[in-house]
Amino acid sequence: MKALLADDHPLMREGVRQVLAQLEASVEIIDAHDYPSLFAQTALHADLDLALVDLNMPGLVGMQGITQFRQLFPDIPLVVLSASESPHDIRNALEAGALGYIPKAASTHLMLDALRQVLAGDIYVPACLNSTDERASAPVVPATVLNGLTGRQREVARLLGHGFTNKAIGSMLGMTENTVKVHVAAIFRALGVTNRTEAVLAMQRITPL
């Protein structure tokens, strides 16, 4: 696995490196310390499996960095690491295209679990949002929500609904697994769900699969 770790605090990067080593012993980690170096390193390493990005770093303000990263590198799964546990920040990061949001106060076990969820194709939402967000319960999704998906996303949603893995979906549709993950994340956001099980149930409630 190849991951990019972007944080302007060296001690924080070192701590996360140790966590990533527990995720996979052979992980290769690329460091960045601000948004300009994040974009430069990502451009040099297009084969990244994951980008872990501090929300507040020099170079850009607020959600601009997350939004710009997603525009420049739509196929690379991005997870936000942040000291903020504000529901507002969490929602904004996920809506900007992050596949997960991990508070820096999280335990090693929780961080590993979150990263495994993202790498498996789910979106990780921290408990500090689930406890206050009315969307934590299964939503009633109107059929018109599918109108907001692209044709490619609808194809992915159909296969996802039949239980295929991201790897299998990529093989069938001629996509990389990372591209499938990004489409799955868009489907989750459109449906208002945070995992594959909820997505399948929501799809079954609004349209035949």
User: What is the tens place of the pLDDT at every residue in 22-43?
Assistant: 998 889 999 999 999 999 999 9
Residues 60 and 143 in one domain: no
Q: How far apart are CA 49 and CA 149, in angstroms?
A: 24
> What pLDDT does 133 receive?
45
What is the average pLDDT across 186-193?
86
Cβ atoms of 125 and 98 within 8 Å: the answer is no
Number of domains in the chain: 2
Give bridge partners of residue 31 from the DSSP assignment: 5
Please check whether residues 155 and 108 belong to one and the same domain: no
φ, ψ at 3 (rounded to 5°): -125, 145
Please give the pLDDT value at position 91.
82
Give the CATH number for residue 144.
1.10.10.10
Same domain, 29 and 124: yes
15 Cβ partners below 8 Å, 6+ apart?
Answer: none
126 in the same domain as 30? yes
The answer to whether residues 149 and 60 belong to one domain is no
User: Is the pLDDT score of 157 beyond 70?
Assistant: yes
Could you tell me if 126 and 149 lie in one domain? Answer: no
Q: What's the residue count for the chain?
A: 209
Q: What is the pLDDT of residue 140?
A: 54
- Domain span holding position 172: 138-206
Mean pLDDT of 73-90: 90
Task: Please report, for the domain that includes residue 52, its CATH number.
Answer: 3.40.50.2300
The DSSP code for 124 is: B
CA-based radius of gyration for the chain: 17
Sign of CA dihedral 187, 115, 137, 106: negative
**Choice between 72 and 159, residue whose per-residue pLDDT is larger:** 72
DSSP designation for 205: H
Residue 74 has pLDDT above 70, yes or no: yes
Which segments of 45-86 does DSSP mark as H helices, in order?
A: 64-72
Helix, strand or coil, per DSSP, at residue 159: helix
pLDDT at 54 over 60: yes
Q: Do both 69 and 114 map to the same domain?
A: yes
